[in-house]
Structures are given as structure tokens and as C-alpha cells.
Amino acid sequence: MLPDKLFQRRRGALGSRGHVEDGTRSKRVLFLLARRERRGGGLGVCLNSEHEEKGFERALPIIAEAIAAGRLAGWVGARCKAEKVETLQTEQPPVEWAKVAAEVRRLALVAAPDCELEIIAAAGRFRQPAWLLDLFVKFAREQQRRWERAPRFMSWVSTPDGKRVLQCNVVLSGGSPLTRRLNTDDREVEGPRRLRLLLWHAIEKGQLPGGFKHEAWHLYGGGIPEKTKCLLRWLRSLPWEQYELHREPAAEKLGHHAPTIDWLTDHEEARRQDTVRRARCDATFRFQGRKTGEKLTPKSRSWQFSRVGTMLHVHSKGQPIYGRVTIDRLTLDWLLPVQNRAAGEAHLKPVVDARKSVKKAADDWRKCSIGSI
């Protein structure tokens, strides 16, 4: 961290990446970064401060200089209503950037209809173009959103639809992280309440270091409603086939993701063993591997990968019982020397086992990369 005098010396005499002695050591400082355009370079400057207000105050004149030099044409064009803006004058009266920064941060909180008028008035006071002040206000709104820190033992993540939600971020015994999405952006009530349930279960399973003495429990711990405990106990007692019917409603009721409910009810291993889900996951992984190029595997739609079934076919009651199998779009039927369904299933068991072996061999082949032995 550098005081203003040393920061200006580094910026003016030594350049944006220059190093000066003295200053205060800090674990992290703010950094101003703009994406590079195809023409004209970009912007990357260390602000040498860990305080948001000071960093914002130092960022504004640097942005103004970059705009004047034409280095942020794409950034300006994306945020200005007009496609072209006037070039900043190279010789301007000294600007009190601390006051400009304070006014910009205030305007960022004003509603849009009133903000337009206030920007014009502020531009006259500070002798700055209104479009430049409007750019600063939009920049401030973006930064306020980014600087909103997540509570301790939580972090911000983005959902597939672009929504920002909280995620649990606690290290369990053995160093494994507990990263479960909390499906809320409420940092005051819902976030701590949902995290409390995860911590309680981790303590119950002996996975949280220190148990109830862990710092996360001191911050968010408390009583768990008895009806929530009863619901989790009841779900835990169900076999997977019955539990699967209730997991989505339970997840919606408790506000968690469905896989989190699997973890809370000790059904994660049963979910992994479910053949249908495992096949869907394998297909997704193969698709992602082909899309990213990490592991190219063959696409397969042939009969070897189709569902096996019982291969038993009964035309109607009292009629002969047949065995049936489809191989390469050719359906084969053969008469069975049996009188009922149970005997037919026993008679076809060797055929069903052989067909399952074919499917397993095909699935193993499909997992291999193209070109491998």
C-alpha cells in the first residue's frame, strides 16, 4: 500500500508497473483491469490500496487518461448511448478527483430518472463532460456489485442462468472442502440458516474439525427445527427407489439443491449406483469431453447399447410364450417350451445374461478414446 505521493511518483516517473520503496505491506491490493481491444491495447494498473474508496479515487483519473489516449474505445462504446464521443481536452484545469469520486459513488445509488439530471449538474460543477461522468457512474455500479463481499465461510458463485448466489466454503476433516450451493443471495437470514443445516450435519457425521467449537458454528450455529430433523430422518430411512420420489419436494422445501439433500440424508452413494443416473452422467461427461477436446470418444447409437429387458414376449393369455430380441434392426422370435411367465424368465436367463455381457463390453469400448488400443 502506498500513500498518494508515492503512488503518483510510481505512476508519473516510473510508469504503471514501476516499483518504489516504503509503503505498507498488505495481503491484497486493488487492481484496475480493462480487457484488451483488438486495436489499441488495454488497461492494467495496480492501485496500491486495499481500501475501496481510495482505490476508486485513484482509478477515475487513470480511466480518463486511457479514454483520452483512445485505449478504451470498446469499453466506452459499450456503455455510451452515442457511438462516438468527443475527445477529452489534453489541457484541463486541475481536477479534485477525490471529490469527483465521492460524487460518482453518490450518483451510483440514485435512481435512473433522477440520476441523468444530477449527472449533468455535477458535470458543470467539475468541468467534465457529462458522458464521462455517466461512464464513471456505470463503472461505480459495477464495482459496488463486485465489491460486495460474501460473509465468512461463504463465497459467491454463478448459477447456469447467470444468477449470483451464495455457496458454503468450509474445510472438513482431512482437508476436503464442503462446497454446497445455498441457492440464495440473502446474506442476513437465508444464507446463514441454510449453512447452519450443513454445519449441523457435518458435526453429526464427525466431519467438521472441532465440532461445535469450530469458528463457523460460533458464527452461524444454533438450533435446528425439530420438523427439519424429522424430515431428514424419515428420508434417510427410505430406500433409494422411494426416496427419489421425495428428494425434489424436500429440496424445494428446505431451499437446497437436490444433491445437497442426498448428502444430508446419506443417499449420495445410492445415487451414484443408480444405473439410469449413472448412464446419463456418463453420456454428459462423454459429450463434454468431445466438446472441449479433452477426451474424444466414439458416438454410438447401435443395438449393442440399447436396453436389455427381459426378452420375454406373451401374445395373450393362454397363447404360446416367445423369446424376443432385436439385433441390428432385425427382430428374432422363438417359441419357448414353457407354460407361464416365471418359467419363461428362468428359461431366458442365459440369453439375458449373454445380452448384458454384450452391452457391458460395448459400454467399456465407448469409454475408450478414439485411436487408443
Mapping DSSP onto H, E and C, the string for 255-303 reads: CCCHHHHHHHCCCHHHHHHCHHHHHHHHHHHHHHHHHHCCCCCCCCCCH
Question: Beta-carbon neighbour count of residue 264 at 10 Å?
Answer: 26
Residue 233 has pLDDT above 90, yes or no: yes
Cβ-based neighbour number of residue 180 at 10 Å:
20
Q: Phi-psi region for residue 293, left (φ > 0), alpha (ψ -120 to 50) or beta?
A: left
pLDDT digits (tens, 9 = 90+) for 202-216: 999 999 999 999 999
- Segments of 133-246 assigned E as strands: 154-158, 164-168, 170-171, 177-178
pTM of the model: 0.48
Find out whether 44 and 34 touch, Cβ atoms under 8 Å.
Answer: yes
Cα–Cα distance list, 267 to 235, 238, 243, 263, 270 (Å):
9, 9, 9, 6, 5
The neighbour count for residue 35, using CB atoms within 10 Å, is 10
**Contact predicate 47/55, CB 8 Å:** yes
Alpha-carbon distance of 105 to 124, in angstroms, equals: 17
Q: What is the pLDDT of residues 104-135, one digit of tens each?
A: 888 887 877 778 788 888 888 887 888 888 88
Query: Which residues lie closer than 8 Å to 130 by C-beta, 6 or more apart?
Result: 119, 120, 123
Residues of the chain with pLDDT > 70, as a percent, come to: 88
Tell me: the pLDDT tens digits for 163-187?
A: 888 999 999 988 888 989 999 888 8
255 exposure class (CB count in 10 Å sphere: 0-12, 13-18, 19+): middle
For the chain, what percent of residues have pLDDT higher than 90? 24
Q: Is a pLDDT exceeding 90 seen at residue 68?
A: no
CB 129 within 8 Å of CB 86: yes
Question: What is the mean predicted confidence (pLDDT) over 81-90?
Answer: 52
Contacts of 230 (CB under 8 A, 6+ apart): none
Cell 485411436, located at residue: 371
Range with the largest mean pLDDT of 81-90, 112-121, 258-267: 258-267
DSSP string, 178-200: E--B-----TTTHHHHHHHHHHH
